[in-house]
Amino acid sequence: MAESCVKLIGTWTSPFVLRARIGLSLKHVQYEFLEEKFGPKSDLLLNSNPVYKKVPVLIHANKPIPESLVILEYIDEVWASSGPSILSSDPYDRAMDRFWAAYIDEKMTSIIRGLAISPVKEGAEVALEQVKTGIMLLEETFRERNKGKAFFGGDEIGFIDIAFGCLLSLIKATQIRSGLQLIHPARAPLLTHWAKRFNQHSHVFPYLPDPHKLAEFAELLSTRAQAQAQTQAEV
């Protein structure tokens, strides 16, 4: 059934927007995708998310909901009877869903984005070790909680799968640009196979950005950052 009152403000490059798109797809929610152009932010975005002024923003019945993890929980609750549950039904497992999603955003997401843009910048080695530590923790978490099933969420992708899986294209773009293989088959065999299953999932694959195009975009951002730094140095 079409949901004419559902809109999503986003960009094709954002892993956070990808989270929302996968959540909506899992719940079979039809929506209008309002793509932000790179440059000045639209009035719609600024008015819909005046606090952070960033994507994604889900608009449902003319009410804006910002922040990707908040959006995922909202989608899971509003369309509870449609599609699989995104958050675990067990209270403890649900708390751990939130814990690991928060860990991924606090300890890994910004670093992975930074490595994709400037893999050899000052402090990159320390950042790289932090990401590798996070990946090993997620490897062990997957081993402990999936009980031989395909995803963190069990037979179907869930909250942790979406939170971390949306970084996989950036991880691949980092490898394309610098050769850094953040998820190594020898060190993280379970996550290696999980990543393939996640990327091939029917509710994920249609929305994945091309890693090579992401690598090109990261190169563009890196070039702009270097130019701005040079301009500031000359002032």
Q: pLDDT grade, residue 1 (50/70/90)? A: very low
Do residues 132 and 192 both lie within one domain? yes
In a domain, 86, yes or no: no
Do residues 46 and 113 both lie within one domain? no
Q: Which two tokens stand for residue 134?
A: 């996070």
Do residues 95 and 72 both lie within one domain? no
CA distances from 156 to 63, 68, 161, 186, 201 (A): 29, 19, 9, 25, 9
CATH code assigned at 208: 1.20.1050.10
Phi-psi domain of 188 (left: phi exceeds 0; alpha: psi -120 through 50; beta: other): beta
* pLDDT tens per residue across span 130-175: 999 999 999 999 999 888 899 999 999 999 999 999 999 999 999 9
pTM of the model: 0.93
In terms of residue numbers, what domain contains 31? 6-78
Do residues 125 and 208 both lie within one domain? yes
Do residues 199 and 107 both lie within one domain? yes
In a domain, 229, yes or no: no
Do residues 180 and 97 both lie within one domain? yes
Report the number of distinct structural domains present in the chain: 2
In a domain, 223, yes or no: no
Please give the Cα distance from 76 to 92 (Å, whole number). 17
CA distances from 54 to 40, 62, 84, 101, 117 (A): 11, 18, 28, 19, 19
58 or 178: whose pLDDT is higher?
58
Do residues 38 and 134 both lie within one domain? no
* pLDDT tens per residue across span 64-86: 999 999 999 999 999 999 999 99
CA distances from 19 to 86, 161, 224, 234 (A): 11, 10, 27, 41
